[in-house]
Chain A
Amino acid sequence: MIEIVNWKQGTQVTNEMKLEFRAVSDNEAFARTAVAAFVAQLNPTLEEISDIKTAVSEAVTNAIIHGYDGENREENKVWLSCMIKSDVLEVEISDRGIGIENIEKAMEPLYTSKPELERSGMGFSFMEAFMDDLEVISEVGQGTTIHMVKKIGITSWIVNEEL
């Protein structure tokens, strides 16, 4: 019999970190670099690091320009937390901004609520493509939380399979 191990639940948290920063675009690079540095302890491939950086960049950008409508105010903060459970990285990015009315619509490829800003509407698609699991929790007027999971150490053979 094959035993299926559910790595999402029941695995002990082996390391974690939390960050709080102001919702300004200068911090997009800071956020993705911080996550990349934190995940280094799992010995990810360059490809995996790039995947994580892109996904984090998308989520943080969304929080800044959609959650807080690009307004630079002292109280507009983004929270980022990372957890490592054996060889799995979990990243959570939260804002207390306007929230998403229709999550399904927001996640459609090419949909953007801000076409005037030249947003491509690919943010959620990239998060989905580059991470193993994506969960969006949002309430209008309360804010949005993006939960992403990536298992480190399998990308190499997935990429080989795609070729």
Chain B
Amino acid sequence: MEEEFKVIDNYLMIRMPNEIDHHHSVDISRTADKYIMDENVGNVVFDFERTTFMDSSGIGIIVGRYKKISCFGGKVFAINVGNRVRRILMLSGLHNIVEIM
């Protein structure tokens, strides 16, 4: 269940876990914020390649990071988005603030 964080240039890459719920979301958000602050990254990329389950906690993670970086002109991206995650992003209107690639 470990999630991986990697900074490439001005981008924080977050490899999201298999299941994203409230139980995991607290740790992901905390670690992501640490990277954003310490490494001074401007943009965040969420990689959903492994993700088969996500509830509204995932929305909280994305919106929370978006709020942290958007005021400095940062962007949020979502990559390897499967049908399930896509449906949840659309349903919550997140496709307006997240660039789905």
A-binding segment of B2-10, B36-44, B51-59, B72-80: B51-59
Q: Which 9 A-B pairs have the closest CB atoms?
A: A120-B59, A25-B23, A118-B60, A122-B56, A57-B55, A118-B64, A120-B60, A61-B22, A120-B56
Interface residues of A in 91-127 (CB under 8 A from B): 117-123, 125-126
A26 neighbours in B (Cβ, 8 Å): 23
Query: Known contacts A61-B55, A61-B57, A122-B56; can you find 10 more A-B pairs with CB under 8 A?
Result: A25-B21, A25-B23, A28-B23, A54-B88, A64-B22, A65-B22, A118-B61, A119-B57, A122-B91, A129-B91
Assess whether B56 is in contact with A126, with CB atoms less than 8 Å apart: yes
CB B16 to nearest CB in A, in angstroms, measures 15
CB contacts (< 8 Å) of B91 on chain A: these are 122, 125-126, 129
* A-B pairs with beta carbons under 8 Å apart, 8 shown: A25-B23, A57-B55, A61-B21, A120-B63, A122-B56, A126-B55, A126-B88, A126-B91
Q: Mark A53-71, 1 if CB is under 8 A from B, else 0.
A: 1100110010011000000
Q: What's the tally of chain A residues with a CB closer than 8 Å to chain B? A: 23
A42 interface residue per 8 A CB criterion: no
A61 to B57, CA, bound (A): 9
A50, B55: Cβ atoms under 8 Å? no
- How many A-B residue contacts, CB cutoff 8 Å? 61
**Interface residues, chain B, with chain A CB atoms under 8 Å away:** 19, 21-23, 25, 29, 53-57, 59-61, 63-64, 84, 88, 91-92
**CA separation between A68 and B101, bound complex, in Å?**
39
- Residues in chain A within 8 A of chain B (CB atoms): 25-26, 28-29, 32, 50, 53-54, 57-58, 61, 64-65, 117-123, 125-126, 129
B60 touches A50 (CB 8 A): no
